[in-house]
């Protein structure tokens, strides 16, 4: 199986899905940045789930929901100009007949959802990433130039803003923690650029974490057909509320095989709230690193099943430490929601706000315990101290920083990572040719451990006939031996 994203670019198989819902009645409207606590406080009566009992029940139509939803579904068109190099460039004879290359326009098509009457639109980050022009086209064919307000590659979400002359229809959100496997959902979008299309299906699975679409691996799976052009749209329930933003599908061919993935609405709301408020998108942390409980671990710890996240290490005086958690504790629940693995734990903590208190259920010594963890933002200690290394040595052209919990969060690394991380490598440099990449860590130089960027700069700048370096490429230490 191959994993496809949902932006449509000529000659590239990429996938998308979009959905929308009409502007609700004023009393039912909820602001785009609404928190889960506020949502829980709403008096929204939910009808009991029932199974169809007759053909008349089966023949019931989703048309009223679609009619209300369609005006809030938009198409997102993007483009950029790239310099195309001709294979004949540099040869005067062939350039005379075939040209030496030149600018070429690259286009992308995705979907988006209006989430505020004043023109806030949410889509996928991969739809707009690297693009210089973004246009939003409404269902009634009105076109608007869009401003990029926030792009978050970690969640694959982007927030745009258009400037309408009148209030627009928009979508509200359902609580993605309240949906169930088997619930009916609809996806509305523009697959393959053929025009607005509606597909229906059910929630196939929840808490999919082994998808590797984004750093926050926690997705809703659906069998509603999602195809190229649907990207960035919404998965909606039968009440017309967004339960998730469609992000990718599993497919052998690039077409829908009924396995699509959507980003849960709780995470979407967090990104939108940050975009509207103009604050930096920094998620709270637990102050601990963790790993998924395997079957062998479960047997050794005498757990009834291999589920949960085992605490590997704890940041001194961080939230987990202050709450009394210890290495070896197995976290099985956060705020009443199950924790299946380390990715689930990261998601459950990350969708909260700075200062929130999370109720954590964990197992220690075979006994189930509770702890109240007051969450905070990861600290930026030590400071990054960005340094561009220059000189006659193997790391010439490399930019490095000190790692901190906050910087590790941005890079998608272990939150307790320490040391010196590579943030940029000049193209065509010796280090680039040797395979050094952003995210790698420099561990030592000529037998001396380096813990800060300043130490690394000092050690690598010392005159030497040869160098011996140790590079951490992601859990694997690779030795470098370089001589003049």
Cis peptide bond N-terminal to 254, omega within 30: no
Q: How many helices (H) and strands (E) does the chain have?
A: 12, 27
Q: Where are the beta strands (DSSP E) in 94-233?
A: 101-116, 120-124, 133-137, 143-145, 147-152, 157-161, 184-189, 197-208, 219-222
DSSP state of 269: H
CB 188 within 8 A of CB 229: no
Q: At residue 83, what are phi and psi to the nearest 5 degrees?
A: -90, 115
Among candidate residues 18, 116, 204, 231, the one labeled active-site is 231
Query: What are the φ/ψ torsions at residue 454 (nearest 5 degrees)?
Result: -65, -40
Q: Which of 6, 108, 116, 126 is catalytic?
A: 126
Note if 180 is an active site residue: no
Half-sphere exposure of 29 (CA within 13 A, CB side): 14
Whether residue 156 lies in the annotated active site: yes
Residues 6+ apart with CB under 8 A from 167: 23, 117, 118
Note whether 67 and 76 are within 8 A (CB).
no
To which residue do tokens 């709270």 refer? 284
Name every residue whose Cβ is closer than 8 Å to that of residue 54 and which is 6 or more positions away in sequence.
none
Cβ atoms of 294 and 310 within 8 Å: the answer is no
231 catalytic residue (yes or no) = yes
What residues contact residue 421 under an 8 Å CB cut-off, 6+ apart?
400, 401, 402, 403, 407, 411, 413, 438, 439, 440, 441
Catalytically annotated residue among 18, 108, 156, 256: 156
Phi and psi of 4, rounded to 5°?
-115, 140
Helix (H, G, I), strand (E, B) or coil at 79: strand
DSSP code per residue over 312-354? EEE-TTSHHHHHT--TT-EEEEETTEE--SHHHHHHHHHTS-T
| SS3 label, residue 421 | strand
3-state class of 5 per DSSP? strand
- When computed from its CA atoms, the radius of gyration of the chain, rounded to whole angstroms, is 25
Q: Which residues are catalytic?
A: 126, 156, 231
């Amino acid at each position: 199986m191959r994993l496809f994203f949902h932006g449509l670019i000529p000659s590239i198989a990429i996938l998308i899905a979009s959905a929308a819902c009409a502007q609700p009645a004023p009393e039912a409207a909820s602001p785009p940045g609404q928190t889960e606590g506020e949502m829980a406080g709403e008096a929204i009566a939910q009808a009991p789930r029932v199974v169809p009992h007759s053909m008349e029940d089966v023949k019931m139509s989703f048309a009223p929901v679609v009619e209300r939803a369609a005006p809030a579904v938009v198409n997102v068109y993007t483009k950029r100009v790239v310099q195309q190099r001709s294979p004949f460039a540099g040869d005067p004879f062939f350039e005379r007949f075939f040209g030496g290359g030149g600018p070429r326009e690259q286009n992308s098509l995705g979907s988006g959802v209006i989430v505020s009457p004043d023109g806030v639109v949410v889509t996928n980050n991969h739809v707009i990433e690297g693009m210089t022009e973004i246009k939003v086209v409404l269902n009634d064919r009105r076109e608007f130039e869009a401003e990029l307000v926030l792009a978050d590659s970690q969640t694959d979400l982007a927030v745009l803003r258009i400037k309408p002359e009148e209030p627009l229809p928009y979508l509200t959100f359902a609580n993605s923690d309240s949906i169930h496997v088997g619930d009916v959902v609809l996806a509305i979008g523009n697959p393959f650029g053929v025009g607005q299309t509606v597909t229906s299906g059910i929630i196939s699975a929840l808490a999919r974490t082994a998808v590797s679409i984004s750093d926050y691996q926690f997705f809703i799976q659906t069998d509603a057909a999602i195809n190229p052009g649907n990207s960035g749209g919404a998965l909606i329930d039968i009440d017309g509320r967004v339960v998730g933003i469609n992000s990718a599908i599993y497919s052998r061919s690039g077409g829908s095989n009924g396995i699509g993935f959507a980003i849960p609405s709780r995470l979407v709301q967090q990104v939108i709230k940050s975009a509207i408020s103009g604050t930096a998108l920094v998620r709270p942390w637990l102050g601990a690193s963790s790993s998924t409980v395997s079957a062998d671990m479960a047997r050794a710890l005498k757990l009834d099943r291999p589920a949960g996240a085992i605490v590997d290490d704890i940041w001194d005086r961080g939230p987990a430490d202050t709450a009394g958690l210890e290495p070896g504790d197995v976290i099985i629940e956060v705020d009443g929601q199950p924790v299946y693995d380390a990715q689930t734990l990261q998601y459950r903590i990350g969708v909260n706000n700075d200062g929130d208190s999370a109720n954590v259920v964990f197992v220690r010594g075979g006994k189930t315990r509770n702890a109240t963890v007051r969450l905070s933002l990861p600290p930026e200690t030590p400071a990054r101290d960005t340094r561009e290394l220059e000189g006659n040595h193997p790391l010439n052209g490399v930019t490095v920083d000190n790692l901190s919990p906050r910087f590790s969060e941005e890079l998608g690394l272990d939150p307790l990572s320490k040391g010196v991380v590579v943030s940029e490598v000049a193209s065509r440099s010796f280090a680039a040719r040797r395979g050094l990449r952003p995210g790698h860590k420099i561990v030592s130089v000529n037998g001396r451990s380096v813990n800060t960027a300043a130490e690394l700069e000092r050690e690598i700048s010392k005159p030497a006939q040869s160098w011996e370096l140790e590079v951490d490429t992601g859990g694997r230490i690779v030795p470098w031996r370089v001589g003049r």
